[in-house]
A and B are shown apart, each in its own frame.
Chain A
Amino acid sequence: MITKVRPHLSQNEALLFERSSPGKIAYQLPALDVPPVDPAEALGAENVRSEIPGFPEVSEVEAIRHFTRLSTWNYAIDHGMYPLGSCTMKYNPRINELVARIEGLAWAHPYQPEALAQGSMEVMARLEAALAEIAGMDAVTLQPAAGAHGELTGILLIRALLEKRGNPRKKILIPDSAHGTNPATAAIAGYAVENIASSATGVLDVAALAQLVDRDVAALMVTNPNTLGVFEENIVQAAEILHAKGAMLYMDGANMNALVGIARPGDFGVDVLHLNLHKTFSTPHGGGGPGAGPVAVKKAFEPFLPVPRLKRSGKKWAYDYRRKRSIGRVRAFYGNFGVLVRALAYILAHGGPGLRNATVDAVLNAVYIRKKLEPYFDLPYASPNMHEVVFSDERQAKLGVRTGDLAKRLIDYGFHPYTVSFPLIVHGALMIEPTETEGKLELDQFIEAMISIAKEVETDPQLVKNAPYGTRTSRVDEVTAARKPVLRWRPS
């Protein structure tokens, strides 16, 4: 039974270029209060373009309808549960949007005098301090624009410290359950990548690690809890093995929402970690960005952090650009300030005890889903899970139905699919992360939907394989899209 949704009409809408007609406008500029300038004279005739061929020409009403109609073709957290594992699709508080738009913050220019930017600087300093406390680390840079960008910053910091100690080393070790950004990042930072197979229980194999760590290893990059949602129980031991050989422990903080208030990476041996403000700290994903990926470090890395650094100068905040050992800039200006404002608003709203309560609810939700779905789906790793749970499609695959099919059928039940086929160490993975912002009703409907689909697989596998049926767009031909790329509109 599909209880959450029933079909409703959605409007068709042409592309902007197809609905344009010459002379239509959606703007009005003020009358010019200075003499007009002839572009050809000011810029040189050879530098002035004629028109922009194909650029849109629509009215204001058509413009708002266009984007509104498009918006109705999206699924969103505001519609319901969005259980994408590893992505942490939690409620995005609207107060955060409001405060990020307060004029003195939203219209602050990055080069306005420091004396006239004290409010922005205070916001950043306060967020740095809060993140350092949450992570148990000594210093934080807010400059990285996203998680992967934070990873790059973090690995460059490790490289810089090792270089200072005489040898940047050659390799980064990465578990086979890691996000793809980890190896890609290591390569950009000039390191070779060596994969470590996970143990039978889905965690770091410390014996294998001990064998691999030598003077060529710069760091281990580990996600904790890992992408199975399992806490790396040997993390303290792993840190000791690394540190004994002068190597570092890097933590991908993508799953930090399972630990806030419960355990701190700095306390269990992590040297450098990045945090995803768009995951743990509720800033909106916006269809794929913007994010922010602050990096938190232990004291030894502090001199290498990107410039500029905030510093206290009397009663004021100031920037310190003169830092000889800094890795340099990883981005212009100071970071995705607007995202930082939202994350701080979230931290203020929850407060210390509230953040811990959120973690507890996130884990409770995932454990509850596991308990209810365990009878219907194969659970390849029996270790206790935290904020997410990973099943495999083993039982359904015997009837020819794969995780991708189950995911598409879930859409008909009114839910966004879980993460499909990740982590790679689980064949046919269903990676489910409910987050703390789902109530029992929504969770029960999701569980009911998953059980119903599991039963459909038994009785009518083809029904599941051809899903979804209720969407305005049916299964999309991604193969042709890649084989014959059409990446822009052209007049026919």
Chain B
Amino acid sequence: MRYLPKSDSERRQMLEACGVASPEELFSHLPEAVRLKRPLDLPPGISEYEIVDYFRQRAAENANGYASFLGAGVYSHFRPVLVDSVVSRGEFLTSYTPYQAEISQGTLTAIFEFQTMICQLTGMDVANASMYDGSTAVPEAVSMAVRSTGKKRVLIARSVHPEYREVLRTYARHQGMPVEGFGYLPEAGTIDLEDLDRKTDDVTAAVVVQSPNFFGIVDKVKAAAEIAHRRGALLIVVFTEAVSLGLLEPPADADIVAGELQSFAISPSYGGPYAGVIATREKFIRQMPGRLVGQTTDSRGNRAFCLTLSTREQHIRREKATSNICTNQALIALMATVLMTVYGKQGLRELAQQNLAKAHYLAGRLSPRFSGRFFNEFVVRASKPDEINKALLKKKIIGGLPLGRFYPELADSMLLCATEMSRRADMDVVAEVLA
């Protein structure tokens, strides 16, 4: 087999050196009862060509050549070519978590740059080396708030991504963290501040809002912060569309920012792998989950980087750790790092402006359901969203996300997203079909 580098004669030499007569003897200490007495019921191995062919066939069974107006936490942005050139380098692709700093400075330096850029983008003091994704970053941020405040109750806006809320519920259930939702304004699509104010009490650890929210709307972060802080709760701001930060004010009033970086050159890939991130204020560093890279020097006095503050982590603290998380999403975070480098200060703004222009062009031909200000996604009424989407599919267009599945009250609506990759001609078709 091509992945096994030994010849049969080398195997024989090694078996002999081990004083073992046959490969079977290597397993002779396994109790008879546990041994598998038959071959695995899997077909024999196949060639490279056949593997490519198999996956090309599967890919052909998916959507191909469609324009898409799906967003809802996963965005179709162009991936600069440099991104794959960098992450395909074996030195990044085939290395482990950088425990041995002397021979891992490449990964460590890139993570330090990542942490810095996330701070610059979000206006926070520190960022970790990344999390699995945005959805799991939320419960980790909530646990941080619970530890920091010594309180347990969690309020989360219904305009936070519905699947993120589901993940939070799964995590919170057995940690004695009651999770309650609060509403959004049916006209504006922004959070219902009165509802939030009513529900926030002195045992509330965290208030969680998303901006732009699930409906694409720039939400009332500052007002939410005031309410949360008045009762001694922390404000957690979630983002799913990182490109929006090229144009939007950073969530400076947040105590913790938990986000998803898929928009930064991470292919949609049917839902993953992505990279989440947590950023926060200096004073909460010790409560942070996940890997952190810090700057130091080597014995010759040169600048060097290493993993640090690991006393928070499971391999040291075991059941008292801040999280059970073991790794970050280094390679995916590197994609985001390269994207932020390629677009840079000027480009990220221009990219965000193009997204804004495209979405507002499309929205201009339709009538958004909510009056709140939006970035590159918005909700429109469509009495039968599934029928509309069926009609669009015939024109090689995947329409918006019907919202009834997540919001029964919005069963007559869909969420549409436009990015820099949306063509005007396709948007015109969407507008015509929806009109």
Contact = CB atoms under 8 A, between A and B. Distances in A.
Given A55-B348, A180-B317, A364-B26, 12 more contacts: A37-B357, A75-B95, A102-B59, A104-B63, A190-B175, A287-B97, A288-B327, A354-B1, A439-B5, A482-B310, A485-B294, A487-B285
A371 B70 CA distance: 58
Nearest to B420: A29
Contacts of A231: 29-30
Given A109-B68, A488-B126, A331 B136 contact: yes
Interface stretch (A336-344, A390-398, A456-464): A336-344
Nearest to B161: A332
Interface in A125-148: 130, 133-134, 136, 145-148
Contact of B64 (A104, A109, A351, A487): A104
Nearest to A326: B170
B102 A348 contact: no
A82 B96 contact: yes
A64 B86 contact: yes
A288 B39 contact: no
A119 interface: yes
B34 A236 contact: yes
Most B C-beta atoms less than 10 A away, residue of A184, A287, A436:
A287
Category for how many chain B residues contact A:
35 or more
B42 A352 contact: yes
A236 B31 contact: yes
B153 interface: no
A378 interface: no
The interface size bin for chain A is 35 or more
B233 interface: no
20 contacts: A27-B80, A46-B249, A54-B116, A82-B94, A105-B62, A111-B74, A186-B319, A188-B175, A284-B93, A286-B92, A286-B94, A288-B96, A329-B170, A334-B272, A351-B42, A439-B5, A440-B13, A477-B298, A481-B308, A482-B309
A58 B344 contact: yes
B18 A358 contact: no
Q: Which of B64, B98, B357 has the most CB of A within 10 A?
A: B357
A77 B95 contact: yes
Contacts of A147: 326
Contact of B104 (A34, A75, A159, A189): A75
A472 B105 contact: yes
A123 B58 contact: yes
A149 B248 contact: no
Contacts of B332: 286, 289-290
Contact of A34 (B27, B267, B302, B357): B357
Contacts of B134: 332
A350 B331 contact: no
Contacts, number: 665
Contact of A236 (B33, B91, B176): B33
Interface stretch (A209-217, A242-250, A260-268): A260-268
A124 B198 CA distance: 45
B283 interface: no
Nearest to B222: A46
Contacts of B181: none
A30 interface: yes
Q: A112, A332, A357, A372: which has the most chain B beta carbons within 10 Å? A: A332
B209 to A, nearest CB: 14
Interface string B290-307: 011111111110101110
A353 B39 contact: yes
B360 A37 contact: yes
B73 interface: yes
Contact of A67 (B50, B164, B338): B338
Give the 8 A-B residue pairs with the shortest CB-CB distance, closest first. Answer: A286-B331, A104-B59, A333-B271, A78-B90, A190-B174, A351-B45, A119-B61, A290-B273
Interface stretch (B107-115, B200-208, B224-232): B107-115
Interface in B103-162: 103-107, 109-110, 112-113, 115-117, 119-121, 125-127, 129-130, 132-136, 161
Given A24-B344, A109-B270, A335-B271, A353 B45 contact: yes
A205 interface: no
Interface string A465-484: 00010011111111011100
A392 to B, nearest CB: 19
A287 B271 contact: no
Contacts of A107: 76, 267-269
Contacts of A46: 249
B306 A478 contact: yes
Contacts of A101: 84, 267
Given A15-B112, A338-B269, A329 B167 contact: yes
B119 A25 contact: no
Contacts of B175: 188, 190
Contact of B120 (A33, A53, A84): A53
B63 A288 contact: no
Given A48-B248, A337-B269, A93 B80 contact: no
A345 B170 contact: no
Contact of A77 (B26, B94, B121, B357): B94
B373 interface: yes
B66 A116 contact: yes
Given A116-B63, A187-B320, A356 B296 contact: no
User: Which interface residue of A54, A349, A355, A488 has the most chain B CB atoms within 10 A?
Assistant: A488
A108 B70 CA distance: 11
Nearest to A117: B62
Given A102-B59, A111-B72, A486 B294 contact: yes
Contact of A481 (B44, B248, B249, B296): B296
Contact of B298 (A183, A289, A474): A474
B358 interface: yes
Interface centre among B70, B273, B299, B310 (most CB of A within 10 A): B273
A439 B10 CA distance: 8
A314 B344 CA distance: 50
Given A116-B63, A372-B17, A184 B46 contact: no
A73 B249 CA distance: 36
A110 B74 contact: yes
Contact of B353 (A36, A71, A367): A36
A463 to B, nearest CB: 15
Interface string A234-275: 011000000000000000000000001111100110000000
B94 to A, nearest CB: 4
A147 B347 CA distance: 37
A35 B357 contact: yes
A48 B399 CA distance: 29
Nearest to A34: B361
A473 B100 CA distance: 11
Contacts of A190: 174-176
B435 interface: no
B272 A145 contact: yes
A99 B4 contact: no
